Amino acid sequence: MHKPVLLREVLQIFQGLKIELFFEGTVGAGGHAEAILTEHPEIGRYFACDRDPVALQLAKERLKRWEKKVEWIHGDYADLPRYLDERGVHWIDGYLIDIGVSSMQIDSKERGFSFQGDAPLDMRMNPIGETTAEMLLNRLSEKELARIFFEYGEERRSRQAAKAIVEARKKKKIRTTAELVRILQPVIRSGGKIHPATRIFQALRIAVNDELGQLQLGVEGAIQRLQMGGRMAVISFHSLEDRIVKHAFRGEKQLKILTKKPVGPTAEECKANPRSRSAKLRAAEKFEE
């Protein structure tokens, strides 16, 4: 089961707040949702959004107890304003996103998020998305691939990796995760504990799912739709993501920042849940100028 990261810290952000309407943009397996709904029995409507239908199915099971309160939304959290408009709602009191890939997605080997095993290079969180990792790998220019690997994966050997991919695809289209790992192995040396392909897989996933574009739009939309006194929390896993959140918060006069520095996991949480290692929580409250 997916363990919700920084759970205690997220609950602290919303502690004492009277919440009528809550929007969670990345409900995943429903771990944070379960805790928030338990701590806040006053919640009237809980909008639970995820772009992955498999995640929504899992969350539905987990949140059965609150089926009268939870409204399911299959789609991108960046479309929050539209979802609210469609429901005749203007303001929300609470907002949470916990972005990135879930352990359930990584563990579903056939979806291509993992460099272990062999699967088609898919990596779409939403199966109706138009772009797959295979498309990017076989169509993008060497320069663009190198940029993605460097920026989204912080891969030092980004140019060498892009070159090896372009050479390989001249001979044969790259179709599977194992093929990609084989192409990367001679180029990227294993860096300590992490697998040599880790950063390239992360970069491709971010590009396939437009994760940075979603975050920018999503945070801006949430700030607009937050009620006076309402609070929002964002958990990110990558320095580029954290920078987007930090700037979006700082650029908004009506936001009081509740986390001077981003909040990370305790040593205990890192040990119990290695996925939490790079998690960073930022939170803010809206106030009247």
| Site residues, ligand SAM (CB under 6 A) | 2, 4, 25-26, 28-32, 49-52, 55, 76-78, 98-100, 102, 125, 214
- Closest residue to ligand SAM, judged by C-beta, is 28
Q: How far is the CB of 273 from ligand SAM (least distance, A)?
A: 11
Q: Which is nearer to ligand SAM, 28 or 94 (CB)?
A: 28
Q: Compute φ and ψ for 8, nearest 5 degrees.
A: -60, -40
Q: How far is the CB of 11 from ligand SAM (least distance, A)?
A: 12
Q: Which is nearer to ligand SAM, 124 or 157 (CB)?
A: 124
Q: Which is nearer to ligand SAM, 183 or 233 (CB)?
A: 233
Q: How far is the CB of 59 from ligand SAM (least distance, A)?
A: 7
For residue 176, list its beta bridge partners: 120
For residue 71, list its beta bridge partners: 47
Q: Which is nearer to ligand SAM, 31 or 230 (CB)?
A: 31
Q: Compute φ and ψ for 155, nearest 5 degrees.
A: -85, 120
Q: How far is the CB of 182 from ligand SAM (least distance, A)?
A: 28
- Cα 45 from Cα 71, distance rounded (Å): 7
Residue 35 CA neighbour count, 13 Å, CB half: 18
| Residue 191, amino acid | G
Q: How far is the CB of 35 from ligand SAM (least distance, A)?
A: 8
**Two tokens at 249?**
């918060």
Q: Which is nearer to ligand SAM, 259 or 273 (CB)?
A: 273
- Cα 281 from Cα 160, distance rounded (Å): 34
Q: How far is the CB of 29 from ligand SAM (least distance, A)?
A: 4
Q: Which is nearer to ligand SAM, 143 or 277 (CB)?
A: 277
- Cα 31 from Cα 47, distance rounded (Å): 14
**Two tokens at 137?**
């790998």
Give which of 94, 102, 113, 118 is closest to 35, Cα–Cα: 94
